[in-house]
């Protein structure tokens, strides 16, 4: 039995449910000690749970699958990643040739109301370093579903300032290592800003932009960050933390999450 300890970041948590290799992920995690965080839960909610809610609203408004596909196609013009995730959700819901309006709607209701979070927490322990209040927000249902994930700097719903203070050394390491890579220019600009004023870490504008850095700093030593996102390589190297890419496992394939 493997003694590997793994820290699951957001795309892996999504991939457990909707990835083309979801079974591989579950099989691989079976004999591992798995950990995730409240911050990852927030990202999970603001991406895949929000997308399920959006797809549900499309279905209710359009009344037909054909018109829902058209809405998704139109969405690609200005929200490509959201549209891609929604298409992935629809693909998963239509497994075993069940692409019927009522069946899709019912499956989606089950996902939104319980199954998504059941998958998220299955055999995984949770840590909470940022005390992100959005992670605790609940789904509400009237004619459709809603989820309040508003995050403004002036509305304190977390302890991200204290997290930055505690991890100043780590953020400085990241800044030193990442600023030579143009791909991380926006991330480094935010890190510079929050190191000068920890309050600037509050709010979605800055906090969400450095999410991968926050997650990497959260991961305890001794845990490999399990991910599908190659950006974590340089981040983890900067922090001297181990990383495991799903793509590097046996029978790796490329898929979208």
pTM of the predicted protein model: 0.91
CB atoms closer than 10 angstroms to residue 26: 15
Q: Please classify residue 21 by burial: count the beta carbons closer than 10 Å to its beta carbon, then call 0-12 exposed, 13-18 middle and 19+ buried.
A: buried
> Which of 145, 139, 132 minimizes the C-alpha distance to 57?
145
Return the HEC string of 140-153. EECCCEECCCCCCC
Name the pLDDT band for 98 (thresholds 50, 70, 90): low
> Which of 38, 48, 39 minimizes the C-alpha distance to 16?
48
Residue 23 or 43, more confident: 43
Average pLDDT over residues 77-84: 85
Instruction: Check pLDDT > 60 for residue 257.
Output: no
Instruction: Check pLDDT > 90 for residue 127.
Output: yes
Rounded to an integer, what distance in angstroms lies between the CA atom of residue 139 and that of residue 256? 25
Average pLDDT over residues 163-184: 96
Dihedral of alpha carbons 125, 220, 18, 62, sign: positive
> Three-state DSSP class for 5?
strand
pLDDT digit string, tens, across residues 137-146: 999 998 889 9
């Amino acid at each position: 039995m493997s003694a590997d300890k793994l820290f699951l970041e957001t795309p892996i948590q999504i991939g457990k449910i909707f990835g083309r290799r979801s079974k591989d992920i579950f099989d691989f995690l079976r004999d591992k000690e798995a950990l995730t965080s409240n911050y990852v839960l927030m990202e999970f909610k603001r991406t895949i749970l929000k997308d399920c809610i959006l797809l549900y609203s499309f279905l209710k408004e359009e009344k037909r699958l054909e018109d829902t596909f058209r809405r998704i196609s139109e969405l690609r013009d200005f929200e490509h990643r959201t549209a891609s995730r929604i298409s992935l959700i629809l693909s998963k819901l239509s497994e075993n040739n069940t692409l019927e309006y009522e069946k899709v709607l019912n499956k989606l209701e089950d996902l939104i109301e319980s199954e998504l979070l059941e998958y998220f927490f299955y055999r995984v322990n949770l840590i909470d370093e940022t005390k992100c209040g959005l992670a605790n927000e609940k789904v509400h249902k009237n004619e459709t579903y809603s989820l309040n994930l508003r995050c403004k700097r002036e509305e304190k719903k977390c302890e991200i300032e204290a997290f930055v203070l505690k991890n100043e050394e780590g953020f400085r390491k990241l800044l030193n290592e990442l600023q030579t890579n143009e791909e991380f220019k926006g991330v480094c600009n935010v890190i510079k800003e929050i190191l000068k004023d920890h309050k600037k870490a509050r709010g979605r504008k800055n906090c969400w932009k450095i999410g991968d850095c926050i997650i990497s700093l959260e991961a305890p030593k001794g845990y490999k960050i399990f991910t599908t996102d190659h950006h974590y390589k340089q981040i983890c190297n900067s922090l001297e933390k181990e990383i495991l890419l799903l793509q590097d496992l046996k029978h790796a394939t490329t898929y979208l999450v």
